[in-house]
Structure 1
Amino acid sequence: MSFLLEKAAGRFRSIYPRLPWQIRLSYGGQSRSFGNGPERVNVEFRKAAPLLKLGLGNVSGFLDDYVTGDVEFHGDIYAIVGLRRHVPDLSYWGVGPLHRLKYSWSRFFPSSVRRKLVAVSSHYDLPNEFILSYLDKKTKAYSCAMWKDSMNQAFPSDETLEDAQYRKFHDAAVELDLQPDDKFLDIGCGYGYQVHHAETHFGVKKALGITLSQNQVDDGYSKNLALKHYMEVPGDGSWDKIYTCGMISHLNKAEIGQYYRHVYKLLKPGGRVWFHAITPMANAQGLDNYSTVSGTFSQKYVFPDHYQFPEHVHLKIIEETGFLVRKVYFRYGHYAKTLRHWYKRYLENLPQTRHMITPTIERAWHLYLTFGSEIDGHVSVLKQTLCEKPG
């Protein structure tokens, strides 16, 4: 099978002529390498089929084979996911039209409440102890943290994940100008720390957090959390302030307009809303979430019904809805650093949590938690938008 090894290694040598580290490909006692500098990882092929896929450029199939255990990475997994930064033609990390069609058909059709509930619970209702094992202990936030020095990815740091997550919630509350008499809604509230922070730090007396995860309601920080779809909250214009973090990523192209319009109806005239989301950069190649290996991998193994649209798409709809856009922040490096902290904790706690999950989930999470840290600031970016309803 040496010809398969040579074909795969040769293909990568031509794609990555200046790769600053080496990757070794091994099968049946033989190996070939590509790249320059020190070797960072050995990719072991336990069957011939994955090697053939890689030699033919089927990166998506290669990652599937890692998840099933037919491929193993010995060494630094960041050396694999970091390849995307060093390829001149990002189309190599794209997927074929049939593969794209399989995962893209749903983006144009609104999902039922039941479908959303199933999609969200399939991820967030994994064993609670497993999810919490890699989140911060103070807020249990499952979204991007806000770091003092986001571009410094090194460990250790004088700032903890707990510090950075708390900053995100506190800064949003300050931007919203939360007041004790405000009626406050958190859409996609997670474990409800923003509701808790509004109640305990800002004295808000009327607050509600809604989520589609039963685990988050049961183990949340506030008694004022509910298992509820956002469309089930009456659009009666009774809310003073709204916070929504990561919710937009669960909406397809047919739904984002509906979402912004309903949030608009929820707010009182003069009310404020804080949108927080990871969005693709407008100039990034592989912009379509279904055209990239990482996008389809996430759809298949991690976040079903997960979508990303660039900020200009959101801003156009926001302004057409009638909102006044007061502030827009683009934050680079924050998501990458958050994911690196999550992955570190994931590995540290894996011996105690491995029995809670399947081998497929374990291996998929290795890629999920590392892939995202490599595309932040290159393909995607954290954006935060403060909007106001005129009145």
Structure 2
Amino acid sequence: MTITNRPRAGSSAPGRPRAGSSAPGRPPRRRPAVPKVADIIRAVTIDEPAVRITAYDGSAVGPADAPIGLHLATERGLSYVLTAPGDLGMARAYVTGDLEVRGAHPGDPYEALRGLATGLRLHMPSPGEALRLVRGLGWDRLRPPSPPPQEAVPAWRRTVQGLRHGRGRDADAIHHHYDVSNAFYEKILGPSMTYTCAVFRSESDTLEQAQANKYDLVAGKLALKPGQRLLDVGCGWGGMVRHAAREYGIRALGVTLSREQAQWAQAAIEREGLGHLAEVRYLDYRDAPLEQFDAVSSIGLTEHIGVRNYPRYFGTLRSRLKPGGRLLNHCITRSDNRASHKPGAFIDRYVFPDGELPSPGRLVSAVHDAAFEVQHEENLRQHYALTLAGWNRNLVEQWDDCVAEVGLGTARVWGLYMAGSRLAFERNEIQLHQILATKTTRDGVSSYPLRPDWTA
């Protein structure tokens, strides 16, 4: 048998390196160094962060003496942040416990968020830098981990599954947020069970005083008098309904799409002996009775309606009013006309699915276009920041009980949501507007006086 140097099929020719090997005389290729978490942060930030950020790999960035810090505790947390940039990825990591706030209570990340908002400027790394980081980390790091169970279906998938703001989908969205647990809400909101912006005559007011102030302000703007009828749409746990009946002798009907809210509210009405004046029904506002009411209040419902549905929404409310009757619409808004109506991904997935915020001008126009006469408008932005601070204090003070009621992940969602919303109101990123309008008749009768007939 003659032996030759002819290579076998599939083998490499003599003197030619196999695939993946280095040529003779060249050093073997080295895998890219695994970047530290601190390296990644430096690659995407312009300045040093104002808060201390540490990580599971021992790296750190930011001032060592910062009183508040963030700690990325796991590789899964890093994958959350990398695969869902912005507030969603960080929220997922925080809710699961993969991102910890150090130097603050777990239910109140406000100071950490404020530090990030005021001292963290981001930029896109160059393509080469991004490729180097990804190769060093490994492509598997860009495989999104499963989101926490508290996360709702993303908006694009909800759009495929059902008509946006259809009756069934609206009911599901309300259920996601408001049917968490009445006992949990009692701990957060306090005795008034009022889940809307309060009105503070001074910063020393208690949350209960401020909520009563808000109801009195609404009642004054609506010029409520004993014996009149009030429709309160999106009534929550019946705070306005009970206040109007108890303090003003009003015959009040509240409607809500939350079954648990309706049951709690009706029981509270009976406990307070207000059954002869007040009632709360589990009902879509579109099915509210066609009786003619003297006044309609909408306190915190418009955010759930959808901007495209405003003509039908305000038209529906107008059809419930007597000629000359008054409407008070109380709603969170954007601070300008430039931004999208859609909230951030965290708010959409974890807090208010399908929520939309208009600009103040868009809201006033919608009321006007529904044939109302707009009489008065005011911004309560700073009051909502104080309200959220009060709710967050309640969460912190009753943290163990809240966790026992709804679980650690949900309690973290609420702490993050309230702290972040407080900061957004303080920074004038969102606002809260009350609009008072009348169903003015063709001959100009509106029941509205020459000057406002209430005191703030």
TM-score in terms of structure 1 length: 0.85
Find the aligned partners of 2:80 and 2:231 in 1 and give their Cα distance: 48
Residue 261 of structure 1 and its aligned partner are, at CA, apart by 0.8
Find the aligned partners of 1:388 and 1:85 in 2 and give their Cα distance: 42
Of stretches 49-58 and 223-232 in structure 1, the one that deviates more from structure 2 is 49-58
Q: What are the equivalent positions in structure 2 for 1:156-171 lying under 5 Å apart?
A: 158-171=204-217
Q: Which has the higher contact order (CA 8 A, sep 6+)?
A: 1
Residue 389 (1) aligns with residue 439 (2):
yes
Could you tell me which runs of 5 or more consecutive residues in structure 1 were left unpaired when the two chains were aligned: 93-98, 150-156
Find the aligned partners of 1:210 and 1:366 in 2 and give their Cα distance: 28
Find the aligned partners of 2:123 and 2:371 in 1 and give their Cα distance: 37
Residue 174 of structure 1 and its aligned partner are, at CA, apart by 0.8
Residue 331 of structure 1 and its aligned partner are, at CA, apart by 1.9
Residue 146 (1) aligns with residue 192 (2):
no
Counterpart in 2 of 1:45? 72
Find the aligned partners of 1:302 and 1:91 in 2 and give their Cα distance: 29
Rg (Cα) greater in structure: 2
TM-score in terms of structure 2 length: 0.73
CA RMSD of aligned residues (A): 2.8
Aligned 8 A contact 1:121 1:213 in 2: yes
| Partner secondary structure for residue 39 of structure 1 | coil
Q: What are the equivalent positions in structure 2 for 1:245-284 lying under 5 Å apart?
A: 245-282=299-336
| Partner secondary structure for residue 69 of structure 2 | strand
Counterpart in 2 of 1:95? none
Residue 214 of structure 1 and its aligned partner are, at CA, apart by 2.1
1:32/1:88 Cα in 2 relative to 1: closer, same or farther (>3 Å)? closer
Aligned 8 A contact 2:175 2:258 in 1: yes
Counterpart in 2 of 1:22? 51
Q: What are the equivalent positions in structure 2 for 1:134-283 lying under 5 Å apart?
A: 134-137=188-191, 139-149=192-202, 158-204=204-250, 206-220=251-265, 221-222=268-269, 223=275, 224-235=279-290, 238-282=292-336
Residue 288 of structure 1 and its aligned partner are, at CA, apart by 2.0
Residue 26 of structure 1 and its aligned partner are, at CA, apart by 2.1
Larger fraction in strand: 1
Find the aligned partners of 2:159 and 2:221 in 1 and give their Cα distance: 37
Residue 362 (1) aligns with residue 407 (2):
no
Of stretches 115-124 and 365-374 in structure 1, the one that deviates more from structure 2 is 115-124
1:200/1:217 Cα in 2 relative to 1: closer, same or farther (>3 Å)? same
Of stretches 373-382 and 322-331 in structure 1, the one that deviates more from structure 2 is 373-382
| Partner secondary structure for residue 309 of structure 1 | coil
Aligned length: 364
Q: What are the equivalent positions in structure 2 for 1:1-20 lying under 5 Å apart?
A: 3-11=35-43, 13-14=45-46, 16=47
1:289/1:362 Cα in 2 relative to 1: closer, same or farther (>3 Å)? farther
Alignment match of 2:111 (pick from 79, 87, 90)? 79
Find the aligned partners of 2:189 and 2:123 in 1 and give their Cα distance: 32
Residue 345 of structure 1 and its aligned partner are, at CA, apart by 0.6
1:116/1:46 Cα in 2 relative to 1: closer, same or farther (>3 Å)? same
Counterpart in 2 of 1:119? 173
Counterpart in 2 of 1:346? 395
| Partner secondary structure for residue 65 of structure 1 | helix
**Percent sequence identity over aligned pairs:** 25
Aligned 8 A contact 2:54 2:72 in 1: yes
